[in-house]
Chain A
Amino acid sequence: MQAFARLLDSLSFQPARNAKLRLIEAYLRETPDPDRGWALAALTGGLDFAAAKPALLRSFGQEKIGEELFGLSYDYVGDLAETLALIWETKADAGPPPTLSEVVETLQRATKTQTPAILKRWLDELDSTGRWALLKLLTGALRIGVSARLAKQAVANIGDQPVAEVEEVWHGLSTPYRPLFDWLTAGGPKPASNMGGAFLSPMLANPIDRAEIDTLDPAHFRAEWKWDGIRVQIASSGGTKRLYSRAGEDVSGAFPDIVEAIDFEGVFDGELLVRREEAIAPFNDLQQRLNRKTVTAKMLKEHPAHVRLYDVLWLDGEDLRALTFDERRARLEAWMGEHPRARFDVSPLVRFTDWAHLATLREEMRQDGIEGLMLKRSDSPYLAGRPKGPWFKWKRDPMLADCVMMYAQRGHGKRSSFYSDYTFGAWRDAAEGKRELAPVGKAYFGFTDEELRWLDKWVRDHTTNRFGPVREVEQQLVLEVAFDGVARSTRHKSGVSLRFPRINRIRTDKPAAEADTVDNLLRLVP
C-alpha cells in the first residue's frame, strides 16, 4: 500500500503525460503480483469500494483531536480525507502497514460494521501519504489525472506491446490481471482475445487544409460528413453490449437507450448524436446527456440518442479490419439494408467530382451538427491509431471573435515559467450605462513559441493583481480567438461558452473598446 500511495502521490503532482507514464511503468515493473494488478484496477476505475463516507471520516477526526482542533484543521486543509490523513499519527508500536492486496481482499470480505475498526488499524500502521491514498481509494475519489487509457498504455509499455493489443484482451480479463502480467513480463501466452464487447483502438484522421488537399487525387478518396457529436464504438458479442468513447471509456451506463437497441453482433465505428425526428440536435443537447450518473426518463425522451455509423470492424464473428474502406462500406450498407434500425443509420457518402466541387459543397452546408468533412482513401484498411495518409478531416472554417485578455495563469511542465493560459472576455452592459468585460473562455494554445514569449512578457509588464499563480492584467490586449461553436451556458458568468477556443492572432492593432460583445457571440448560437 505504501508503494502504491507513493505512486498516487507523485502522479497527483505531475502534470505531464509522459512523466505520468514513466511513474506508472516504474511502479508496475517493481511491484509484485497481485499488488500491481490491484493498482492497475484502481487506476482503470475497476475498483469500487465507497467503504467510507464523509461522516465516518469526520467522526474519526473529532474523536482523535477534539471538535475544535479538527474544525481548525479541516478549515485550513479544505479536504476531508487529506485532513484526516494528516492529523492521524502512525503508531510507534503498530504492525507493518498493509499491502494493497490485503486492503482490497479484506474490504471485499468485511461487513459494513467491521469496516471502521479495520480502517482505524490501517490508519495507525500507514504513514501520512499511505493514509491519504487509502482514504482517497475508500471514498472513491482518487482524482489524480490518470485515464484508464493512460494506465493501459503504461502496462503495454512494460511489455513492449502496442496499447491496442492490451485493449483487445482487456475486457476478457479480470482483476488482478495475473495472465496479463505473465504475458507482458514473463513470456507467458497472450490472453485469449475474448471478443465479448472488447474495445478495439479506433482509426483517427489527420487534419488537412485546402492547399494540401490539392496535392491528393480525388479519385482515390471517399468523402463523408464529419458529424458534430462524440465518436463512439459499439461492441457487441456473446450477449455483451458496450458503448465506448474514442479513448476506450465504457459509456454504456449513460446511454441505455442505445445499448437496449443493440440487437446485433459486431463492432462498429460511429458518431453519437442527439436526434429528434430527422434532425440532428446541436452538440449542446448531447452534452446534457454526458457526465450524468443517472439518466432520467425525461432526459431519454427529450434528448434521444442516436448513432450514425461510419464503419464496421467486426461483423458476425468476422474481423473486417484488413478489408479496404470500399469493401467494409459495402458490407455495412448491405447489413443495414437488410434490417433498418431506428437508433442507428449509416452516414451517407458525399458524392463529388473534384476538389473544387467538394469545397463548394462544404461551403454550402449550413446544417447544424456538421463539423466538416472526412476524406478516406478507398483502399484504406482499418488501422489503430492515427496513421499518416489514409484518413483526413477537413473542418469547417472556425468562427472568430475579438476578445480582451483578463487573466493569465502559468502553464505546466515546460511552460511552468510562462504565463500561457489566458482567460479572455467580451463586453456587456453594466450599471449606469457603463460596459464591463465578462469572461467567455480560456485558451492555452494556438500561438507560436515566439508569440508565447511576447505574451508572457506582456502579462508581466501589465499585471494589476495577483492571486496565487493567476495574474489579473490591464484590460488592453485584444486576442483574436478561433472556436468551433458557441452555446448558451449557465455555468459561465457571461452566459456563453465557446467550443474548443484557441488564440488565432494577437491584435495589438485593435483598441480593446472595439472588441466583440457578449451579444455578438450569442448571435452565433445555432
Chain B
Amino acid sequence: MTDTLNPRSWLYPTPRGLYCEPGDFYVDPAVAVGRAVITHGHGDHARPGHRSALATPETLAIMRARFQDMPDTAQQPLKYGEEVKIGDVSVSLVPAGHILGSAQAVLEHKGQRIVVSGDYKRRPDATCPPFEPVPCDVFITEATFALPVFHHPSDVGEAAKLLRSVATFPERTHLVGVYALGKCQRVITLLRAAGYDKRIWLHGALASLCKLYEDNGIALGDTALVSDAILETFRGAIVLCPPSAMADRWSRRFADPIPAMASGWMGVRARARQRGAELPLIISDHADWSELTQTLKDVGAPKVWVTHGREEALVAYARSIGIDAEALHLGGREEEDES
C-alpha cells in the first residue's frame, strides 16, 4: 500500500460510469461500453450491450435471462475469490450478500486497493453467501438506506408478521409486492424457514427468475403461477407479484386482498402509506444504518466514497469518526426499485 498515489488518478466517475483507467474498463456502467465489470444483476448495475462483461457466473446467468441471451457480449465468468489481470489492474470478486451472484469488485493497482461494494447487506440471506469485509485503501459504499432512521428489523420477525396476518384473516388473499430479482426469492425462503409449506402463488413476471434460482440450488418449495390456476379461489393464499401489479387490473381477480409490500422503505410509515401497503413488511436487501456504519469500521479504509442514495448523512457520520469521506456522484442512479 502506498499513500503517494492519488486513487482518483486511476478510478474516477465519468458520464458513462465509474472508469478504471489502467484497466480500460467500467464498473457497473450506466450505458453500453467496451469492457464492463458488473457487481450484480439489478437493472441499475447490469445493462445490456457491452462488448465484454466480467461478472460472477450467477450474475451472467441473470443477465442472460433478462437480456435475451446477450449473443453479442463476450462473457467472462469469474468465481468468488478468483483473480484476473485486466491491463495493469488485478480484479477479483468477493461476496456482497445482496442477491444471488452479487459481488464487491476488488481492484488493485500499484499496491493500492479499492473496493467497489456495489449493493450489499450484512445479515444472513439463504439465497446468497454473506458479505465479506475486505481491508482496503478506498471503500466505495452504497447509501440507499443511509439515514439513522433505517434500522431494519429481523427478517424472521417480518415473515412471522405476514403469517400472523394470514392466520387472522384466513379468508383473504395476501398479495405481497416484491421485486422480481432477489426480494421475491428471499421472501419465499423466509416463509419456508418459518415452516410455511403451502403453495405460494406467483405472478407471471416472477417465474423465470424463480426458476433460475432453483437451477442454482436454492429450493423454493411448492410454487405455481396465478395464471395457471383453474379452480383456485386464493382464499387464505399468499400471492407474490411485482409492486406495479398490485394496483393493476390483474389484482382484481382476488377477493378482498390485503396488499402487503416487502421493502426496506416500509420502515417509514408515510412511505408505506404512499405505496398503499396495508401490511408493510420491512425486508431489505440493502444494508441499514448500523450495517453501513459497522462496515466502514470493518473494512478500515481511510478513504470512503459514498454513492447510490443518501450520501449526505453517511459522509457526515464517516467524517465524525475521522474518515476522509466524500460523495461520489454517478449518473444513471435514481432511487432504485430493488430496495
Q: Are A417 and B248 in contact (CB under 8 A)?
A: yes
Contact pick for B277, options A13, A65, A127, CB 8 Å: A13
Contact pick for A13, options B168, B249, B273, CB 8 Å: B273
| A62 CB, nearest partner CB in chain B, Å | 12
Contact pick for B168, options A23, A69, A79, A416, CB 8 Å: A23
Give the residues in chain B near A78, CB-CB below 8 Å. Answer: 270
| B113 CB, nearest partner CB in chain A, Å | 29
Interface size class of B (residues with CB under 8 A): 35 or more
Q: Are A13 and B279 in contact (CB under 8 A)?
A: yes
Q: Are A73 and B276 in contact (CB under 8 A)?
A: no
Contact with B along A114-148 (1 / 0, CB 8 A): 00000000000001100000000000000000000
Give the residues in chain B near A14, CB-CB below 8 Å. Answer: 278
Bound complex: CA A86 to CA B169 (Å): 28
Q: Are A77 and B149 in contact (CB under 8 A)?
A: yes
Contact with A along B266-282 (1 / 0, CB 8 A): 01111011101111100
Say yes or no: is A12 at the interface (Cβ < 8 Å to chain B): yes
Contact with B along A48-89 (1 / 0, CB 8 A): 000000000000000001101110110011110011001101
Tell which of B34-42, B48-56, B191-199, B313-321 binds the partner. B313-321
Bound complex: CA A483 to CA B274 (Å): 30
Q: Are A128 and B153 in contact (CB under 8 A)?
A: yes
With A14-B278, A78-B270, A79-B270 as contacts: A414 and B256 at CB distance below 8 Å: yes
Q: Are A89 and B151 in contact (CB under 8 A)?
A: yes
| B252 CB, nearest partner CB in chain A, Å | 6
Q: Are A76 and B147 in contact (CB under 8 A)?
A: yes
Give the residues in chain A near B273, CB-CB below 8 Å. Answer: 13
Give the residues in chain B near A495, CB-CB below 8 Å. Answer: none
Q: Are A77 and B274 in contact (CB under 8 A)?
A: no
Say yes or no: is A19 at the interface (Cβ < 8 Å to chain B): yes
Give the residues in chain A near B290, CB-CB below 8 Å. Answer: 89
Chief secondary structure at chain A's binding surface: helix
Q: Are A13 and B169 in contact (CB under 8 A)?
A: no
With A66-B320, A86-B268, A410-B276 as contacts: A72 and B247 at CB distance below 8 Å: no
Bound complex: CA A413 to CA B150 (Å): 28
| B184 CB, nearest partner CB in chain A, Å | 20
Q: Are A417 and B251 in contact (CB under 8 A)?
A: yes
Q: Are A72 and B276 in contact (CB under 8 A)?
A: no
With A13-B280, A65-B148, A72-B313 as contacts: A469 and B274 at CB distance below 8 Å: yes
Name A13's closest neighbour in chain B (CB-CB): B278
Say yes or no: is B118 at the interface (Cβ < 8 Å to chain A): no
Bound complex: CA A78 to CA B276 (Å): 18
Interface residues of B in 290-327 (CB under 8 A from A): 290, 310, 312-313, 316-317, 320
Q: Are B274 and A73 in contact (CB under 8 A)?
A: no
Q: Are B316 and A69 in contact (CB under 8 A)?
A: yes
| A68 CB, nearest partner CB in chain B, Å | 6
Q: Are B149 and A87 in contact (CB under 8 A)?
A: yes
Say yes or no: is B259 at the interface (Cβ < 8 Å to chain A): yes
Bound complex: CA A429 to CA B165 (Å): 52
Contact pick for A86, options B150, B165, B247, B248, CB 8 Å: B150
Complex A-B, nearest 5 residue pairs according to Cβ-Cβ distance, in ascending order: A86-B149, A87-B148, A73-B149, A468-B274, A417-B251
Q: A76-B147, A89-B151, A127-B153 are in contact. List 16 more A-B contacts (CB 8 A).
A: A12-B269, A13-B279, A13-B280, A23-B168, A69-B317, A72-B312, A73-B148, A77-B268, A79-B269, A86-B148, A87-B148, A410-B247, A416-B276, A417-B251, A417-B252, A469-B276
* CB-defined A-B contacts under 8 Å, sample of 20: A10-B279, A13-B273, A13-B277, A13-B279, A15-B278, A22-B169, A70-B148, A72-B147, A72-B310, A77-B149, A77-B268, A83-B149, A87-B151, A89-B151, A410-B276, A416-B246, A417-B246, A417-B248, A417-B251, A469-B276
Residues of chain B touching chain A, judged by Cβ–Cβ distance below 8 Å, are 147-151, 153, 161, 165, 168-169, 246-249, 251-252, 256-259, 267-270, 272-274, 276-280, 290, 310, 312-313, 316-317, 320
